[in-house]
Amino acid sequence: MTELQAEKRIEELSSLIDYHRKKYYLEDSPEITDDEFDSLMHELKALEAEFPKFYKPTSPSTRVGGYVAEKFEKVTHKVPLKSLNDVFSPDEVKSYLEKCEATLGHKAPFVVEYKIDGLSVSLEYENGLFVRGATRGDGQIGEDITENIKTVSAVPLELNEKIPYLCVRGEVYMPKKAFALLNEKRDENGETPFANPRNAAAGSLRQLDSRICASRNLSIFIFNIQDISGGPEIKSHKDSLDYLKKLGFVVSPSYDSFTSFEDIMDRIYRFGENRSSLAFDIDGAVIKADLYSDREILGELPHVPKWAIAYKYPPEEKTTKLISIEVNVGRTGVITPFAVLEPVKLAGSVVSRATLHNADFIAERDIREGDMVVVRKAGDIIPEILKVDKNHRNTQVPFEMPKVCPSCGEKVAREENEAAYRCVNPECPAQLSRSLEHFVSRDAMNIDGCGEAQINALIENGLVKDAADLYSLKAEQIEVLDRMGKKSADNLINAIEKSKEAGLSRLLHALGIRHVGKQTAIALSKFFGSLDALMCADVELLSQIDDVGEVVAKSIVNYFSLESTKHLCEKLKSAGVITEDNTAEKKSSKLDGSTFVITGTLPGMKREEAAAIIEENGGKVSGSVSKKTSYLLCGSDAGSKLTKAESLGVPVISLDDLLNMIS
């Protein structure tokens, strides 16, 4: 591809991705699937990497993360981000409205909006371009989270009008579906689940590594203009939200105005009744004076405006009987307990199950079968047991986790310092479906057209018993399955065949080795070069790799010591799956044996480009400074990594020093 063709295609892709982002987030009418959208993004990233001169700061690719901050800088808000006074009853709402009417001398229109349960942030734009995002903090001073905010797809990086300056306030939240998937993964990995979507969103926004934030699928609603220069004259809150929508923001989904107490309460009640059906969490409703002229008269106090209040919904809790405690077996063998309840209506839906997370959770709350328990929905989505009513306890038998796997009958193990119990049998039937879903996923072997439905059909028809069996499938076996056909079968066979060339790093990630994620798989692939070499490695050798500690090393050794693993790897090799590292060949060996850490802003070069140079010349790049670090490549505005390197005596070099080393 020529430079001219690349520039044109990058512009086309950027425009196309922005178009589909708006269709999804602004209009709620997506025209393409998530996979198709991801394909466009992958193509854009590949072209920008090959032709970096055409990369722009407003590129949609900036949303995927990849920036690791040393720390968050402080930001002083030009306009304070104040909180609201809370009210909890209709009488308090009525009293508030009467006071406003007495001050104004007339009945004023008030806008009623959802009170999104998330994290408040400010976004700043100059000449239509996004320049900074900050947390609310204490209302006066927040933290600069610009790189993390860029990963939120609903945030426009460029407005539809080039306003000289605009500062808006919004609420970042985690959609209920994303929260459920995140906690499901944490449960499978034996990690402590997040308590609710708000905590998950807040924790995500404050990750120093923006890649983690990008993976959390956050979204945002904008609900206020904080400051504006050069825009149109705006006289009401409703007008401001209409204008923000025009600029490309996702604003509060409902913002009708009312003048009577009865109409305002009717809308508040309706919000409360429908909250369980919303895709996001709310914990109340906000009542705001609509007209800016009325707001000026009502005024503000140091920490709260007098022109708005928040009506808070009480958390809904119900008492019901815990009939039994049962367990599920996940992809990695984690055995997760759950409660089977007598059905009870809670937050608009009938609840008959509740998560119990792990054995420690059950023990801490002393939960037993037959107990009467208090249940609520955590974040209005996942039912959880708050406490036990021991006055009505009929059993004296504490719950114990099963000693053997309920699916395969193999022994269950619990490692030291871990909350999770696991089935250690990799051929466990309950693990097979989820293991295959992971194996074919995009970051693993990337077998397109092989989703959950197809995998379940293959298993139910006895066509696959492990991942290697995918490579012995024939089109005629697949086309007779439900919802398939000749074309779909042919496409799937072609995708399976293509995946053989994925390479060692993807294969290692696909195998689902405990504690081995995408980045660790890449490090293992580069260090050992082949699957055979890795399978022979011991803990001592594995621990020499920067991204591998003792816990990870033991997990890898344990995995490859299993006869079932050896059998699977032999089948994969026999099927023609590449089991060697097939990344780009090194340009030189001048940095062989050296491990680099990069910090600060490099002159005229991105950190990713410097990392590529190091790896092309045989070096390794790590994310943290340790005694194993050979050099700290340091630019301007370096932080804690420089301090640690100096304390450990690690040589500190500049970009010029690095280039001289390979010249």
Q: Which residues are catalytic?
A: 115
CA distance 650 to 387: 52
CA distance 639 to 338: 45
Q: What amino acid occupies position 16?
A: L
Task: Using DSSP, state whether 466 is helix, strand or coil.
Answer: coil
**What number of CA atoms fall less than 13 Å from residue 7's CA on the CB side?**
5
Q: Are strands 372-378 and 382-389 parallel, antiparallel or unpaired?
A: antiparallel
Rounded to the nearest 10 degrees, what angle do helices 34-50 and 3-25 cross at? 150
Task: Using DSSP, state whether 109 is helix, strand or coil.
Answer: coil
- In order of 196, 219, 265, 324, 582, the CA distances from 118 in angstroms are 10, 10, 23, 34, 43
Q: Which residues contact 194 (CB under 8 A, 6 or more apart)?
A: 179, 182, 183, 186, 200, 203
Q: What amino acid occupies position 13?
A: L
125 — phi, psi (to 5°)? Answer: -130, 140
Task: Using DSSP, state whether 191 is helix, strand or coil.
Answer: coil
Nearest CA-CA partner of 427 in 459, 473, 474, 471: 459
CA distance 605 to 253: 42
* Cβ atoms of residues 543 and 626 within 8 Å: no
Q: Are strands 317-329 and 334-346 parallel, antiparallel or unpaired?
A: antiparallel
CA distance 159 to 21: 13
* Cβ atoms of residues 119 and 196 within 8 Å: no
CA distance 560 to 543: 16
Q: Are strands 631-634 and 595-599 parallel, antiparallel or unpaired?
A: parallel
* Cβ atoms of residues 43 and 66 within 8 Å: no
CA distance 109 to 261: 10
- Per DSSP (E only), the strands in 42-144 are 74-76, 85-87, 110-116, 119-126, 129-135, 141-143
Q: Are strands 620-622 and 595-599 parallel, antiparallel or unpaired?
A: parallel
Q: Which two tokens stand for residue 606?
A: 């991105």
Burial of 241 (0-12, 13-18, 19+ CB in 10 A): buried
285 — phi, psi (to 5°)? Answer: -130, 150
CA distance 594 to 127: 45
Question: Residue 34, Cα to own-chain centre: how many angstroms?
Answer: 15
**What number of CA atoms fall less than 13 Å from residue 400's CA on the CB side?**
6
∠ CA 609-615-616 to the nearest 5 degrees? 85
* Cβ atoms of residues 320 and 341 within 8 Å: yes
Burial of 627 (0-12, 13-18, 19+ CB in 10 A): exposed
CA distance 195 to 382: 10
